[in-house]
Amino acid sequence: MTTSVTSRTGGTAPVRSGAARSVLCLVGALVLLVLALFASVMFGNMSNSFGDVLDVLSGDGDSYLTTVVESRYPRTVLGVLAGVCLAVSGTLMQGVTRNPLADPGLLGINAGAAASIVAATAFLGASGQSETMGWALPGALLSGVFVHLLGSAGSSTSLVRLVLAGAVLTAVLTAFVQAVTLSRPQVFDSYRYWVVGAFGGRDFSAFWPVLPFAVVGLLVALVLAPSLNSLALGDESATSLGTNPAVIRGTGLLTATVLSAAATAAVGPIAFVGLAVPHIVRAVGGVDFRMQVLLAALTGPSLLLFADVIGRILLRPQELMVGVVTAFVGAPALLLAVRRMKGGA
């Protein structure tokens, strides 16, 4: 819950002017992403050299090598998708709420996806990984919509209401998930493999159903970015600048929800990417939301892919799930940030 936390707006950093800087940032982020992509197909239980990967990509690799490298395509693609969704979702959340601690995970989406998977496995006889994972998306979307309906029951949408509505939904659904999983061991199995948040063992079947939501979400985020710039000045200034704060906020939060639901459905709940990337992006790229959305879309995947690579290398031949890695990298960063917080009673 972040309701009692003092918010520090994203608009406090000095505006860095100059198109050159922006281009530099984007190019840097792009280079980083390419490196992350290469790393993701290179490393694993069996690591290849850079040359091997180039051979495979140009079609010259031997068949074994090709199989190894290509087996890492799905997780890489999923990583990119989830990274884009989570990072842009977090940027929208923080921009809309002006709260640097807003995280899409607070909206009850994870619990909704989990409950959906558990219900499908227990009562509809879903089995096999791709089939059960397919149920995550409707569950996540449904819970997101529900939270918005509950959270905006009155006139306007406020973060406090949404977070509380998310907490309510999470509690009730988690109770349901726990009750079912504790009394049905086989359901428990599919649940615990999903809930940890991992790229391993997933195939493209997790990718295609989620892709349209991610694309639409990203486009809406880019369209909203200029309005978010006026919103950062406060509701009254935003109104006088010709934007409708309520509409922008509603659309922004809904888009954030959809993006976050897409990521959760694809790879399971992953903490801290949605929280951390917007901070990094603000520190590097400044306060312009158009820039922030673009940079987030490039940085999020890099972060997630590198985390995944670390998880693959660290405990070889076993794997540390990416959700665990991001938590262990992200949480200490948050703890360090706490020390620099001002006031905050």
Binding residues (CB under 8 A) for another protein: these are: 1-6, 101, 150, 153-154, 158, 160-161, 164-165, 167-172, 174-176, 178-179, 181-183, 185, 188-189, 192-193, 195-197, 271-272, 320-321, 323-324, 327-328, 330-332, 334-339, 341, 343-345
Q: Closest distance between another protein and the C-beta of residue 5, in Å? A: 6
| Amino acid code (one letter) for 186 | Q
CA-nearest of 33, 41, 45, 30 to 74 is 41
Q: Cα 138–133–323 angle (5° rounding)?
A: 105
Q: Are 272 and 90 in contact (CB under 8 A)?
A: no
Q: Closest distance between another protein and the C-beta of residue 148, in Å? A: 14
CB-nearer residue toward another protein: 170 or 292: 170
CB-nearer residue toward another protein: 14 or 342: 342
Residue with tokens 């985390």: 307
CB-nearer residue toward another protein: 272 or 306: 272
CB-nearer residue toward another protein: 51 or 185: 185
Per-residue tokens: 190: 């599919």
| Amino acid code (one letter) for 218 | L
Per-residue tokens: 159: 């973060």
Per-residue tokens: 322: 């990416």
Q: Closest distance between another protein and the C-beta of residue 54, in Å? A: 35
Please report which residue ranges of 124-244 form alpha helices under DSSP H. 129-134, 136-151, 159-183, 185-195, 211-231, 235-240
- Residues 62, 68, 70, 73, Cα dihedral to 10°: -160
CB-nearer residue toward another protein: 19 or 345: 345
Cα–Cα distance measured from residue 9 to residue 226, given in angstroms and rounded to the nearest whole number = 16
Supply the DSSP symbol for 206.
G
Q: Closest distance between another protein and the C-beta of residue 101, in Å? A: 6
CB-nearer residue toward another protein: 38 or 328: 328
Q: Cα 135–124–266 angle (5° rounding)?
A: 10
Q: Closest distance between another protein and the C-beta of residue 176, in Å? A: 7
Q: Closest distance between another protein and the C-beta of residue 65, in Å? A: 30
| Amino acid code (one letter) for 117 | I
Q: Closest distance between another protein and the C-beta of residue 271, in Å? A: 5
Per-residue tokens: 311: 């998880």
Task: Please classify residue 158 by burial: count the beta carbons closer than 10 Å to its beta carbon, then call 0-12 exposed, 13-18 middle and 19+ buried.
Answer: middle
CB-nearer residue toward another protein: 164 or 284: 164
Q: Closest distance between another protein and the C-beta of residue 201, in Å? A: 12
CB-nearer residue toward another protein: 266 or 298: 266
